[in-house]
Amino acid sequence: MTLLAVDRLAVHYGGIRAVQGVTLEVEQGETVCVIGANGAGKSTTLRALVGLAAAAAGTITYGGRDITRLPVHERARLGLSLVPEGRGIFPRMTVAENLLMGAYQHRDGVAIRDDLDRVLALFPRLAERRAQVAGTLSGGEQQMLAVGRALMSRPRLLLLDEPSMGLAPLVVEKIFETLRAIAAQGVTLMLVEQNANLALQLSDRGYVLDGGRVAISGPAAELLRDPRVRAAYLGG
């Protein structure tokens, strides 16, 4: 079943055409990545999906419903959740308080506590530091916290913008291992990622953006072998 369908999406910033006619789909339960050079329109596409960037043209259909003009909070209520580039945690709040902020739209206290237990089981490091102020965490721990907070919203579609940015290789490996576990639980994932090799290894399908347009798309295994992708993003 198609969970997300984007048709000829365009996003403009003043005179800059950041996204120009992007069309893509995400099926329920799959993991899809969007790769490309800096400035290709990857992050802008994600921001448009959650309503943080306005669509100048095109449509965004989610769960069979046109959400192109829907406000951000309404999209969140439908199960769209974004882990932003730069993490966006609340540095003066504790780990536990940050996680509970992710559940702000829910009112069922017992279920929220169950969600919290599940997230802390996914991220044992956060469980150890649940009372620690988030601003004192390492970069990798802050990324774990950002993902955990998004999971607290019970997303149907979890969007991740550059989850490996600025992290050490061992930490990145752990983050992607956890993303595999999240996908195995049935959460649909869509990620924008500079590390094309890692992103494609995690994903079922991929899209390559170039100049705000989809240049190449297909099964991730095929993109890993595609000479154009290998030359541009995988070091040959």
pLDDT digits (tens, 9 = 90+) for 130-155: 999 999 999 999 999 999 999 999 99
Considering 103, 136, 154, which residue would you say is the last residue of a domain? 154
User: How does residue 124 score in pLDDT terms, banded at 50, 70 and 90?
Assistant: very high
Considering 121, 154, 187, which residue would you say is the last residue of a domain? 154
Q: Do 148 and 31 belong together in one domain?
A: no
Average pLDDT (16-25) is 96
236 has a pLDDT exceeding 70: no
Q: Do 184 and 69 belong together in one domain?
A: yes
pTM value is 0.93
pLDDT digits (tens, 9 = 90+) for 171-185: 999 999 999 999 999
Q: 11 with 53: CB under 8 angstroms? A: yes
Q: How far is CA 35 from the centre of its chain?
A: 12
Q: Which structural domain range is residue 139 located in?
A: 88-154
pLDDT digits (tens, 9 = 90+) for 78-89: 999 999 988 789
168 has a pLDDT exceeding 70: yes
Q: Do 232 and 163 belong together in one domain?
A: yes
CA distance 70 to 60: 10
197 has a pLDDT exceeding 70: yes
DSSP string, 12-33: EETTEEEEEEEEEEEETT-EEE
Tokens linked to 186: 């049935």
CATH code for the domain in which residue 165 is found: 3.40.50.300
Helices marked H in 93-168: 95-101, 109-122, 124-128, 139-151
235 has a pLDDT exceeding 90: no
210 has a pLDDT exceeding 80: yes
Residues 186, 221, 206, 122, CA torsion sign: positive
